[in-house]
Amino acid sequence: MSPSAALRRELAKSPRLLLALDFDGTLARLRRDRRAPRLPAGRRKALSVLAKTHGVRILVVSGRALADLRGRCPVPGAAFAGDHGLRLEGIGPRWRHPDLARRRRRAGILAAAARAAAKDLPGVRVERKEASVAVHYRNAPAVRRDPKPLKRALERLPLSGWRVAPGKCLWELRPRQDWGKGEAILLALKRLGRGWKAAFVGDDTTDEEGFAVLGRRALTVRVGPGRTAARWRLPGIGSVDRLLAEIRRSRRP
């Protein structure tokens, strides 16, 4: 399915477009192994062409760390927001959230506690990210059937101001007072200056938070099924390619 005519019209009429895209599940297919997702060559080419197009900036926004993200998205000219938007590079000077050091320490403490809480659950993997902790259960069939007991166990950890948030086959420990992908996109917009419009394409829970934060300030696009706060929807990752091609066509002089 092609992007709807209304979305195509909106994209075409924004002379300066900040195109923000999530990575896992939006630009790369989700895989069992979190180290596996890669940007396919065709999509990388399309993004590279767009990143060089006048009046278009590409921003890849992800829960992954910046270095990880950069390595998976070798797109010259693209900007990156890593750690759920706590770091931004490529649009103005490198930026990091002022609270990052404190969050990093807390993430270390909670990752150790989560590992202890999950030690008897085969297949559960605790990933310490810079400022959050992901507890993956994609490879834990028993937890996949009923993930709530794991959630309850995580809620008993010394969370002090953090919360247990859902993701795709994972629970994520994150600060309650949050700065997320939506706020990072707004920061990037502000740095670009007047006349820029943002579009944000994503597929997951943290993207939904971004859609809600952005509201009418961006063209929000959900990839795949599920409840959404986004204004538009693409049926799957394949239609992201058609969206990129459509934006390219609309920019041709």
Which residues in this chain contact Mg ion in the complex, by CB under 5 A?
Answer: 22, 24-25, 203-204
For Mg ion, give the closer residue by CB, 100 or 169.
169
Q: What is the closest distance, in whole angstroms, from the C-beta atom of residue 28 to Mg ion in the complex? A: 9
Catalytic annotation present for 24: no
Q: How far is the CB of 73 from Mg ion (least distance, A)?
A: 13
Q: Which is nearer to Mg ion, 131 or 170 (CB)?
A: 170
- With residue 187 as reference, give the H or E element that holds it: helix 181-192
Cα(194)–Cα(202) distance, integer angstroms: 24
Q: Which CB sits closer to Mg ion, 68 or 203?
A: 203
* Closest distance of CB 185 from Mg ion, Å: 15
Bridge partners for 163 per DSSP: 174
Q: How far apart are CA 147 and CA 34, in angstroms?
A: 19
List, in sequence order, every residue forming a beta bridge with 211; answer none if it has no partner. none
For the bound state, the minimum distance from the C-beta of residue 143 to Mg ion, rounded and expressed in Å, comes to: 20
Question: Closer CB to Mg ion, residue 123 or residue 167?
Answer: 167
Closest CB 182 distance from Mg ion, rounded Å: 14
Tally Cβ neighbours within 10 Å of residue 163: 14
Contact in structure between 237 and 223 (CB atoms under 8 Å): yes
H/E element holding 59? Answer: strand 56-61
Three-class DSSP category at 226: coil
Q: Is 246 within 8 Å of 2 (Cβ atoms)? A: yes
Nearer to Mg ion, 14 or 206 (CB): 206
Q: Which of 22, 68, 83, 178 is catalytic?
A: 22
User: SS3 of 160, please?
Assistant: coil
What sections of 23-81 are H helices per DSSP? 41-51, 66-72
Which has the closest alpha carbon to 218: 235, 241, 196?
196
Which amino acid is residue 159, in one-letter code?
A: L
Residues labelled catalytic? 22
